[in-house]
Every structure is written in structure tokens, then in C-alpha cells.
Amino acid sequence: MTRVRGLRCRECGRLYPAEALHVCDECFGPLEVDYDYDAVRAVVSREKIAAGPRSIWRYRDLLPLDDDRVVDLGTGFTPLVRADNLARVLGLRELYLKNDSVNPSYSFKDRPVAIASSKALQFGFDTLACASTGNLACSVAAHAARAGVRACVFIPADLEQGKILGAAIYEPTLIAVDGNYDDVNRLCSEIADQYGWAFVNINLRPYYSEGSKTLAFEVAEQLGWRAPDHVVAPIASGSLFTKLWKGFNELRLVGLIDSPAPRMSAAQPLGCAPVYTAYRDGARDVRPVRPNTIAKSLAIGNPADGYYCLRIIAESGGGCAAASDAEIIEGIKLLARTEGIFTETAGGVTIACLKKLVEAGTIHPDEVTVAYITGNGLKTQEAVAGHIVQPIRIAPTLDAFEAAFRERELALA
Ligand SMILES: *Cc1c(COP(=O)(O)O)cnc(C)c1O
Ligand SMILES: [Zn+2]
């Protein structure tokens, strides 16, 4: 019995075999993994999942892997934290944060890369590659190291130090391209055509993107097998956002939850907000922009799945917001000070947009809401370095401490 029917074109519906393909020959539409949900329903259960590993691999029946050779860094099963302090500040009754900044390479990208790199090995590729906005580079390099295969990783040259180092430490071939992500992606599409490499987010994109569904599965399981009422997630290419939607809908299709899929709201940085702009203007299509934002992990001016994100926002009854650089920094600091979680700029975007969506009435105060925190603050330290309270420097004496402490208490009073 086979759960995966193949790859299906999202535009014309044509079915392809489950190979390393990503665009439709007929209409150039994107391909997506297509399941036989009756076959999935016959094998999954809450009990079977609960007995599985505490990682994304517990959802194996809902993922496109047909053999046991997986690249496993222990990704997933990250904390879902009830955030009462932040909820109080924002005026929400029940708010949760999915803290995906604590994955093995410190972002949610380990989820899609775990699936894509496993699939690459099963297909027999010997080189893992990617066009990255930063976190993907770290994750692909880490998975290649673990799998013992070559990695060739492409990044925009102006990336944050924490992401360059966070990829370089695994010793991939790291290529810094003079240009923005959209330039990197264009170059990589050419390279992917000429070299027989597994570009996780290009020729393996249908498998890659399936990994993000686990962010819907885990949240539903952690809430006691129900979907939240409303979720907020960031958009770069739109892969995560579209697969969250697919994930929640699949849970219902295979009988793991009864609740409808949540309302889906999207977060973008104002300096790279093609989906937000289309949403705001009521446009049907997403027009590419030139990114200029501190949220480099979200700086994709021409999002591959932007159009589908717009449709999901409309279909689910969600909304979309965008945050300026100053609001992103304030979002990072608000999350740190209220909940003790240090996120990167993308998380700052999510928190700032969550606040805007509540203020605009898009998120109702009594909706059970989940915000996705997708990356770790230690990787984007330069964004907040000029905005933190400096340590108080003293001589090593009790007097010096007491004087300094008194002064600090007075300043806070
Ligand atoms: C890549 C990334 C995203 C969004 O990715 P999509 O391309 O939209 O799937 C969100 N947050 C962080 C931290 C990322 O690195
Ligand atoms: Zn097609």
C-alpha cells in the first residue's frame, strides 16, 4: 500500500511520479506531493504518533518518505509555550508561542531540510545544495555533515555574521554571491540545471516544503489534538505559510482532529512586503519588490508561493501585516522581556505583526492564537546590538556594587 501517489501540479492537476521534479512540463506550475489520504487514514492514529520518537519523525505517515534512510539531527518537538505575559500586554486571552528557535541549527529550516536531505539520499544524490537567505545555509550544511555528503551552499554576500559562521562551521563549500536572495536563487536555478545536485529548495522543493507541515502537526498535538483558532506566521518564499495550511487540513482529512483549520495571518517586514502589499491593495497577484530590511531571513522580493499565500489568507479569513525595522527590533525586545525568548529578526516581525493584527481587530481577543517563532536571536545580534542595556561596570568591592545597585534601582523607579 502506497501513501504517496506522486507529485501533482498545483495549477493543471497533472500527476507525475515521485521523482526529483519541481515544475510542470505542461504549464510550468509548481508540483506538490499528492497523498492517498485513505491509505494514510488507515495507518495513522494518535496513539501511534504518541509512541513515536520525540521529533518530526513521529509524523512519518504524513511525510513523503518511503524508506528508513533518513538524515536525523533530532529536529522538531520544540516547545509550545503558553505566553500569558505577552498575552496580557497584547490583550489576548490564550496565546501560545511555537518556539522553533531551538532546533539543531537554530531555526525551523531543519524541518524542511530533514525531509529534503533524506529524500536526496534516497534518490542517490551525492551533493546537497541550496539558495539561502541564511538559516537554510546553516541547516543544509549541518544535514550534509551528518549525512557525510558534500554541501554547496549559496548565500547573499551581505548576510549576518551569525549565519555565515553558523553555516561555515560545518565546512560546506560556502559561496557568497554579490547580490540579493533573488539573484542567488536565479543563479542557483542555472546551476541546478547543469550540475546533478540536490538543491533542497529548487529541484527538491516539493519534498522540502512538506517538512514544514510538522509545524502544524506538533501544535495540534501539543494543544491536545485540536487546531488553534488563529495562527500568525512569517512569509519569505511562502513555503512555510502554505504548508502550515496544508498540514492543519490534512489532520482533519485523516481523522486526527475534528476542528476546522485555523484562520491564517501572515507577517512580513515592511522593507520586503510583496504579499502584504497585494493583500492591502486587494490585488490578485503578488508583484516582486527589491528588499531593504533588517529581517534578512525574510528578504525574498519574488516569493514563489506568494500567490498561494494570498489565497490562503482569504480562504481562511485571516489577515496580513507588515513591520518596519524599528517595530521589528521592538518586537524582538518585547518577546524577550515578557517571555524570556530571544528570537531573530524574523521572530521580531512575527511579534510586531501579531500586535498589529490584534490592534486592527483581525485577531479577536478570545481566539486561541499561536505565533510561530522561527529563528534564534543569537544569529542576528547586530540587529539589536545598539538597542540593549549595557552592563554596569564596577570595581570588585561591595561598596562599588552597592553604589551601582542603588543607582540602578533609582533609575528604574
Ligand atoms: C526561511 C525562514 C522563514 C520563512 O520561510 P518561507 O520561505 O516562507 O518558507 C521564516 N523564518 C525564518 C527564521 C526563516 O529562516
Ligand atoms: Zn501543470
Determine the Cα–Cα distance for residues 162 and 144; give it in Å rounded to an integer.
Answer: 19
**Residue 279 grid cell:** 493583500
Q: What is the pLDDT of residue 293?
A: 97
What's the domain count of the chain? 1
Nearest residue (by CA) to ligand 1, atom 14, is 297
Q: Ligand 2 centre and the CA of 86: distance in Å?
A: 44
Q: What is the pLDDT of residue 75?
A: 98
Ligand 1 atom closest to residue 238's alpha carbon, by position in its atom list? 8
- The pTM of the full predicted model, rounded to 2 decimals, is 0.97
Q: Determine the residue of 78, 115, 133, 153 to mutate for testing ligand 1's pocket, defined as the one with the most ligand atoms within 8 A of the Cβ atom.
A: 133
Decide: residue 183, CB within 10 A, 0-12 exposed, 13-18 middle, 19+ buried. middle
413, amino acid identity:
A
Q: What is the pLDDT of residue 68?
A: 83
Q: Is residue 311 part of a domain?
A: yes
Q: Ligand 2 centre and the CA of 23: distance in Å?
A: 8
The alpha carbon dihedral of 369, 327, 305, 135 has a sign of negative
Q: Is residue 180 part of a domain?
A: no
Question: Which ligand is in closest contact with the Cα of 201?
Answer: 1
The boundaries of the domain holding residue 290 are: 80-106+211-383
Q: Is residue 176 part of a domain?
A: no
CATH number assigned to the domain comprising residue 258 = 3.40.50.1100
Q: Is residue 284 part of a domain?
A: yes
Residues of the chain below pLDDT 50: none
Q: What is the pLDDT of residue 206?
A: 97
Q: Is residue 321 part of a domain?
A: yes
Q: What is the pLDDT of residue 1?
A: 53
**Residue 195 grid cell:** 550540475
Torsion, Cα 18 33 205 111, to 10 degrees, reads: -120
Residue-wise pLDDT for 252-306, tens only, equals: 999 999 999 999 999 999 999 999 999 999 999 999 999 999 999 999 999 999 9
